[in-house]
Structure 1
């Protein structure tokens, strides 16, 4: 079990970091990475649960034992929690990186803010796993 970012509660209580802090550098590097469509594709493939992309493999099983259903329900709840926490983290990042005092640090502000804005939409987070979406973003 991996703890990816922060809980939804802790994110809403966070303030943007000072530019001299290590967290500022970490978050700057992360938001700059989000401007790269191929990095978004990597996130969608490697960590689909963060983006709310569900696995269709498990839902195709016709024989459900009670234990496997409970296990799947538990995993689905964790994936939903991960997805909600990541969405909250993205909202937190978008909220402060678009402010003038922070946007000045972005090497590619247009692409970075566009990616952060798109990632606010659940439909986009789910669709980003499709190669056509990545191709469209790459143009």
Structure 2
């Protein structure tokens, strides 16, 4: 009876945090790439349907996001990744934990996933850093939350936040 459950449960569990685990290293490479705003732009331009971006116009975006199973699956995958990469056990493997976790946190929001295709958003993330809340990208609070979740304030981009 126990054997049918582990394969189902195992697919929903994070991989063990060892560099010899292929799934772990693949997910580490992917989440590390998310720290680069230009990679986020590449995802938005190359795979807009995954982020819920519609070509029909801004009004249809929200309906498109909820109706597109690929966008829902990708959003669920991003939520899954964020749920365990923010823990110290996994965050210790990130080379840029502050930027990576902030990007994962921002990608949880439907509006951010749709807005990331705009060059202004990418330039704000690249030029002023993800921790600057300018241009409708409310991230100052997110940066503080990520550092608290991660427990590594010295690796984050904003050094004046305090842990609680």
TM-score by length of 2: 0.63
1:25 alignment partner in structure 2:
25
Describe how 1:1-139 pairs up with structure 2 within 5 A: 14-18=12-16, 19=18, 20-56=20-56, 80-139=68-127
Runs of at least 4 residues off by over 6 Å: none
**TM-score (normalised: structure 1):** 0.75
Is the contact between residue 34 and residue 116 of structure 1 (CA under 8 Å) also seen in structure 2? yes
Structure 2 unpaired stretches of 5+: 1-7, 58-63, 128-164
RMSD in angstroms over aligned alpha carbons? 2.5
Cα deviation digits, residues 80-124 of structure 1 (max 9, x gap): 100000000000000000001000000000000000000000000
Structure possessing the higher relative contact order (Cα contacts under 8 Å, 6 or more residues apart): 1
